[in-house]
């Protein structure tokens, strides 16, 4: 044994740690007696490998192999070129002697390889984590079930979907009012801003962003993230008919509402698959029960209710925020939010008011559909829900709850509206602001208990809410106007 160890020491004395890690990892990945490799050791070796810089061609090959296997892709190399392969696309990475990368090409199914500048920059900067994330998005887009024939057919259907979206990407909505015309392309176009023009980036739309006039975080507003959706194909339990050709007739035709006219599936070539198109929402969106029902009515691809996890809607929105419980009723939640540089509001969400089944919600990370004609209507529903979420989240904060801040009570009234009740600054009585969101572009307000001049105050606070999408900023302005 001593002689064997001595020989091993001599053999590997001149080898680098990177080469040793690579050898040990490959040995551990080889199954022995049909057993699985030691995942803990393999993971440890991969983390150790990431600590060392990539300084040779072998180092870069090893790192690319790790990334490929993490995404379930195949990997092989020939001289100075590495290939990361999936069923419907592959990456071709040309390496330099010192571990650098000369070129990255993406070859989609049925298409010629083309250079990817974005992936090339990530590898040249040695940002393997972001490179792996981008690769995961591409793999998930083409993660299509079935044998090769089915996968190729679904890929064709998906390509026609992308072509139809590109043909309509400049088409605005049918709204005619000035407020909607001032919306940017993300919030105002047919289905948002289309990001993907090449196959090295997943087909993605940005469909909602808070208005540009919204306050900065320093103003005390909890800003909502911009919402996007990656389009993909996903397996389903039931079978669905998907178009195998373009459904947008040329020249483009619009209906009376300004929406494009789509050909029905029955009028074009189509096939039946145990799969459908899907919008993968980023980030996932808390949705009210009524909005989930609207989506099901549009697509006809309903998710069984037993598979959805329902909860009080305001609790879903508050995930990640710091809350406090009322000593009288532990179901009540409190949030303290800065409303101005030196003013703070505490918003109370009564548990008993939000526990009704009609106010329940579920976090939705994907929306299935079968026809491009569904997209404009789906995006309208998603934008509508995002606008409601943005307003309610503006009342939530990660700041500690303060006892000295003025309190406002937030209660649901309808699926598209809620009320905020507060003590008037000019007298010992309560006033209530009823906020309604009929769609993502319009917010209306009614003020009760304010006495003379309530109509003028309603217009003022509605204007602020539409511009800033912030309940605290709007109520602080209202409170100041009501102060004698």
Distance, in Å, from the CA atom of 260 to the CA atom of 188, rounded to the nearest integer, reads: 15
Closest CA to 232 of 202, 199, 269, 254: 202
Distance, in Å, from the CA atom of 42 to the CA atom of 26, rounded to the nearest integer, reads: 9
How confident is the model at residue 302, as a pLDDT? 81
Q: pTM for this one? A: 0.83
What does residue 335 show for φ and ψ, rounded to 5 degrees? Answer: -135, 135
pLDDT tens digits for range 320-370? 665 555 444 457 899 999 888 788 999 999 999 999 888 999 999 999 999
**Mean pLDDT in the chain?**
84
Report the Cα–Cα distance between both ends of the chain, in Å, rounded: 93
Distance, in Å, from the CA atom of 173 to the CA atom of 216, rounded to the nearest integer, reads: 28
pLDDT tens digits for range 36-91? 555 665 566 566 666 567 888 988 998 999 899 888 899 999 989 999 999 889 99
Q: By 3-state DSSP, what share of the chain in percent is helix, strand and coil, each rounded to 5? A: 35, 30, 35
Q: Is 246 left (phi over 0), alpha (psi -120 to 50) or beta?
A: beta
Closest CA to 280 of 375, 363, 367, 383: 367
Distance, in Å, from the CA atom of 218 to the CA atom of 253, rounded to the nearest integer, reads: 46
Q: Could you give the angle at the alpha carbon of 135 between the alpha carbons of 307 and 197, nearest 5°?
A: 95
> What contacts 24+ positions apart, CB below 8 Å, involve 176-183?
177/441, 179/441, 179/442, 179/466, 180/441, 183/211, 183/441
Sequence-distant (6+) residues with CB within 8 A of 389 are 224, 285, 286, 317
Tell me the mean pLDDT per 10 residues along the chain, length 484. Answer: 69 70 65 54 61 80 90 92 93 94 90 90 92 90 79 92 88 50 69 75 89 46 69 91 94 83 95 94 95 95 83 89 53 88 90 91 95 95 96 86 82 96 91 95 91 82 92 93 86
Angle between helices 454-468 and 471-482 (to 10 degrees): 150
């Amino acid at each position: 044994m001593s002689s064997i160890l001595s020989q091993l020491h001599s053999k590997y004395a001149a080898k680098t740690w990177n080469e040793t890690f690579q050898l040990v990892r490959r040995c551990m990945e080889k199954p022995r007696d049909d057993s699985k490799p030691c995942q803990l050791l393999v993971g440890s070796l991969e983390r150790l490998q990431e600590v060392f810089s990539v300084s040779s061609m072998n180092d870069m090959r090893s790192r690319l192999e790790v990334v490929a296997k993490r995404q379930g892709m195949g990997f092989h190399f020939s001289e100075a070129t590495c290939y990361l392969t999936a069923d419907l696309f592959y990456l071709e990475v040309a390496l330099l002697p010192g571990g650098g990368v000369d070129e990255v090409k993406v070859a989609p199914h049925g298409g010629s390889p083309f250079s990817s500048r974005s992936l090339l920059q990530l590898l040249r900067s040695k940002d393997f984590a972001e490179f792996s994330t981008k690769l995961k998005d591409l793999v998930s887009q083409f993660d299509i079930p079935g044998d090769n024939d089915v996968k190729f057919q679904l890929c064709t259907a998906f390509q026609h979907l992308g072509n139809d979206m590109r043909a309509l990407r400049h088409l605005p909505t049918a709204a005619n009012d000035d407020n909607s015309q001032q919306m940017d392309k993300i919030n105002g176009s047919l289905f948002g801003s289309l990001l993907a023009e090449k196959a090295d980036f997943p087909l993605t739309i940005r469909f909602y962003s808070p208005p540009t006039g919204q306050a900065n975080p320093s103003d005390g507003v909890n800003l909502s993230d911009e919402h996007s959706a990656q389009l993909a194909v996903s397996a389903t339990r039931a079978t669905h008919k998907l178009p195998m050709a373009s459904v947008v007739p040329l020249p483009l035709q619009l209906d009376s509402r300004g929406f494009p006219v789509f050909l029905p599936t029955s009028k074009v070539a189509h096939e039946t698959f145990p799969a459908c198109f899907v919008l993968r929402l980023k980030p996932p969106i808390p949705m009210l029960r009524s909005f989930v029902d609207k989506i099901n009515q549009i697509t006809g691809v309903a998710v069984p209710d037993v598979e959805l996890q329902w909860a009080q809607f305001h609790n879903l929105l508050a995930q990640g925020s710091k809350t406090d419980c009322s000593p009288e009723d532990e179901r009540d939640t409190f949030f303290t939010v800065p409303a101005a540089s030196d003013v703070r509001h505490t918003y109370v969400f009564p548990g008993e008011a939000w526990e009704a089944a009609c106010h329940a919600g579920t976090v939705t990370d994907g929306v299935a559909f079968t026809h491009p004609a569904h997209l404009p209507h789906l995006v309208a529903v998603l934008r509508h829900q995002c606008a409601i979420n943005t307003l309610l989240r503006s009342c939530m904060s990660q700041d500690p709850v303060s006892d000295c801040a003025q309190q406002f009570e937030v209660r649901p009234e309808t699926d598209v509206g809620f009320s905020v009740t507060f003590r008037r600054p000019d007298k010992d009585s309560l006033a209530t602001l009823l906020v309604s969101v009929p769609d993502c572009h319009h917010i209306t307000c009614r003020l009760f208990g304010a006495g003379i001049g309530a109509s003028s105050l309603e217009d003022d606070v509605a204007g602020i809410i539409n511009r800033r999408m912030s309940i605290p900023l709007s109520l602080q302005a209202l409170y100041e106007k009501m102060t004698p």
